[in-house]
Chains A and B, each alone.
Chain A
Amino acid sequence: MADYNAMEMMICIAARELEDRSTVGVGTGAPCAAAMLSQKTCSPNLIIMFEAGGIAPLLPEMPISVGDSRTTWKAVMASGMCEIMETACRGMLDYTFLGGAQIDMYGNLNSTRIGDDHQKPKVRFPGSGGANDFASFAWRMMVMTPQDAKRFVEKVSYITTPGWLEGGDSRAKSGLPLNAGPYKIITNMAVMDFEPESRRMRIISVNHGYSENDVLDNCGFELLKASKIVETAPPSDEELRILREEVDPLKLVIGR
């Protein structure tokens, strides 16, 4: 079996989730690496979009910002924020990858603050940026994050970005676009989806080297389990080679 680190594994798993001839809204770092890897493996016609306006670049290397020049390198269009978010709201954005300091069982994300005083927070984070927008509009929202009970919490301090809100049909009732929402959560230990009725997070596969109990022990809320939990297919030698040699040769993301 090939030797790989947690970040490499998450990126390889995520890359496989992106269908060919679909659109994905990404940020910098791991999501961008996953989209690039996907283009070089299973989905050569994947269309990458950046919130600041870059559409379908032929990314020559990892961008540092979601608007830097690499995001429009040989792109089909250098547009703007409204073009991208309007496209997403119209229903033409298939996937997005997001992250946050905290996530709950419905996939709601906090990237705003810890502490209750909003004007004087204990810890202030950057905020939504375009995360809430992408999560509201993209058909399928995914998260790549380390599995950790401090991160997977019963209740997030603040819902920056919508998951399935309070579960059940609460998201549909809120007024957000119908039938869009969290799809897969990819961690170093497992892959989770959401049970279709309750919209609660559910383990569907466990990554090589980890057990179901490892996943449960590193989650701050009760996880549901799929009727059959399988082992996640580990990264292949070919995926790892492309990731290391072509996607991130400087190890900006996979070296973390």
Chain B
Amino acid sequence: MEVLEQGIGKLFTDPDADKAREFFRTKSRSMDNKLMTLKDAIAKYVHDGDYLAIGGFGAIRTSTAACHEILRQGRKKLAFCGHTSTHDFQILSSGKCFNRLDIAYIIGLEARGLSAVARKYMQSGDVEVTEWTNYCLSARLKAATMGVSFVPIRNIMGTDTFKYSGAKKIKCPFTGQYYVLMPALYPDVSVIHVHEADVYGNSRIRGITISDLDLARASKHLIITAERIVSTETFRDEPTYTSIPFYLADAVCEVPFGGYPGNMPYEYFSDEEHLREWLQTERDAEAFEKFLEKNIYSCKTHFDYIQKNGGMEKMSKLRAKELMVNNSAE
């Protein structure tokens, strides 16, 4: 198959399916108890220079807790997957944790506005970027999930998004139509926040899955952060509802409200007040340093962060907002 055109963007991971198979051959199939603290999980599985992806999307079911821990442990020079990455991108930019980036959507927090810190970092020239779209990144994860080195799709042709991507354009040997090939993306490590997991890593996600079913399968290492740890019988009684089977997971961490201040479907809505505070405080470097110290660096765990931002009372309000019920007792 002849390559007709190709993007000039770099690939930050190797799409080779046989090399990936060699890795997955060594991955444990053992049903071991993988419960650990988030601190230990990040220390063990997220290393400087790794390619990192965070599950969820647009501050929905994103593992805020993991992003904070990555800052606390001072990870640097990561490559990162910016797949409508909003509040997680804002946090990781605040710690300048990455220097290579696959971009679909960054900097913005959708209807809430743009992150000044993330924008400044992206305009500094310190981050090497390759452009994609949300579907491109989903398709790249899909290819990895399938165990193949690329999949053909039909977007981005004729645009600068193609020019600055790492994709290649070919002609279909069956029909003569043109396609762009999306190279498989096998992240070194990803963190996915789920509703329920057992100690082995069997997990359930409720609501939209975005690209997480593929992300879980494409990633070499997977850290699960869960709202709740449940019994294995929960899965064995209703296997229909399992989103992620245990052998994909390397670590399981119980982190209630681990997506806060984002939205966790059916659990709690986003804390818009606190997200606004992030966006506003960022504009003043000194104030923002104090803000990060208070909300991230001086926190031992996610519980400290929750405590500093309204604790259970706030969580209860966000739960009512999520379920659209009026819980005010006045």
Q: Residues of A at under 8 Å CB distance from B?
A: 27-29, 51-54, 60, 63-69, 71-73, 78-82, 85, 89, 108, 112, 117-133, 136-137, 158-162, 165, 170-171, 174-177, 252
Q: A52-B84, A112-B131, A118-B164 are in contact. Are A128 and B158 (CB under 8 A)?
A: no
CA separation between A53 and B207, bound complex, in Å?
A: 9
Question: Is residue B122 within 8 Å, beta carbon to beta carbon, of the partner chain?
Answer: yes
Q: Complex: how many Å from CA A145 to CA B58?
A: 23
Also in contact, A80 and B212, with CB within 8 A (given A112-B131, A130-B135, A175-B154) = yes
Q: B201-216: which have CB < 8 Å to A?
A: 206-214
Q: A67-B56, A132-B133 are in contact. List 10 more A-B contacts (CB 8 A).
A: A52-B58, A52-B210, A63-B111, A64-B272, A67-B208, A69-B207, A125-B108, A128-B131, A128-B161, A174-B178
In the complex, the answer to whether A67 meets B158 with C-beta atoms within 8 Å is no
Minimal beta-carbon separation of B85 from chain A (angstroms): 10
Interchain CB contact under 8 A, B265 and A132: no
Interface-centre pick from A60, A78, A79, A177 (highest chain B CB count, 10 A): A78
- For the complex, is B17 an interface residue (Cβ under 8 Å from A)? no
Q: Looking at the complex, which of B20-28, B99-107, B230-238, B289-297 is the stretch in contact with chain A?
A: B99-107
Judge whether B156 is part of the interface by a CB distance below 8 angstroms.
yes
The verdict on B64 contacting chain A, using a C-beta distance below 8 Å, is no
Q: Closest residue of chain B to A117, judged by CB?
A: B125
**Which 4 A-B residue pairings sit nearest by Cβ, starting from the closest?**
A175-B178, A53-B208, A174-B158, A120-B125
Contact present for B123 and A174 (CB under 8 Å): no
The residue on B at minimum CB distance from A124 is B122
Contact A137 B213 (CB under 8 A): no
CB-based contact B111/A28 at 8 Å: yes
Residues of chain A with a CB closer than 8 A to B119's CB: 124
A72 vs B104: C-alpha distance in the bound complex, in angstroms?
A: 23
- Do residues A82 and B214 form an inter-chain contact, with CB atoms below 8 A? yes
Tell whether B179 is near chain A: CB-to-CB under 8 Å.
yes
Using known A-B contacts A82-B139, A128-B134, determine if residue A65 contacts B158 with beta carbons closer than 8 Å. no
Within 8 A of A (CB), among B136-172: 136, 138-139, 142, 153-161, 164, 169
Measured CB to CB, the closest approach of chain B to A250, in angstroms, equals: 12
How far does the alpha carbon of A82 sit from the alpha carbon of B57 in the complex, in Å?
14
0/1 string, B105-128, CB within 8 A of A gives 1: 111101110100001001111011
Select one of B84, B105, B108, B154 contacting A137, CB under 8 A: B154
Partner of B208, one of A79, A122, A128, A132: A79
Is A176 within 8 A of B209, CB to CB?
no
| B156 and A112 form a contact (CB under 8 A) | no
User: Once the chains are docked, how many angstroms separate the CA of A177 from the CA of B169?
Assistant: 14
CA distance A218 to B58 in the complex (A): 34
A103 to B157 Cα, complex, angstroms: 18
A-B contact pairs, 29 of them (CB 8 A): A54-B208, A60-B324, A64-B110, A64-B111, A65-B110, A65-B111, A66-B58, A67-B210, A69-B207, A69-B322, A72-B208, A81-B134, A81-B135, A85-B134, A85-B135, A112-B131, A118-B164, A120-B125, A125-B107, A126-B114, A127-B82, A128-B131, A128-B161, A132-B155, A133-B133, A159-B158, A159-B161, A171-B158, A175-B169
* Inter-subunit contact A80/B263 (CB<8 Å): no
CA distance A255 to B16 in the complex (A): 51
Q: Does the CB pair B58–A68 fall under 8 Å?
A: yes
Tell me the minimal C-beta distance from A137 to chain B in angstroms: 7
How many Å from the CB of A247 to the closest CB on chain B? 15
B200 at the interface (CB under 8 A from A): no
| Chain B residues with CB under 8 A of A60 | 324
Contact partner, A51, options B134, B213, B269, Cβ 8 Å? B134
Inter-chain contact B211/A80, CB cutoff 8 Å: yes
List A contacts of B206 (CB < 8 A). Answer: 78
CB contacts (< 8 Å) of B136 on chain A: these are 133
Q: Judging by beta carbons under 8 Å apart, are A82 and B133 in contact? A: no
B225 interface residue (CB < 8 Å to A): no
Q: Is B63 an interface residue (CB 8 A)?
A: no
CB B123 to nearest CB in A, in angstroms, measures: 5
* Chain A residues whose C-beta falls within 8 Å of the C-beta of B208 in the assembled complex: 52-54, 67, 71-72, 78-80
**Do A162 and B159 touch across chains, with their CB atoms under 8 A apart?**
yes
Q: Which residue of chain A is the closest to B155 with respect to CB atoms? A: A136
Taking A65-B86, A67-B60 as contacts, is the C-beta distance between A130 and B114 under 8 angstroms?
A: no
Give chain A residues whose Cβ lies under 8 Å from the Cβ of B177: 175
Residue of A69, A117, A159, A160 with most partner-chain B CB within 10 A: A69
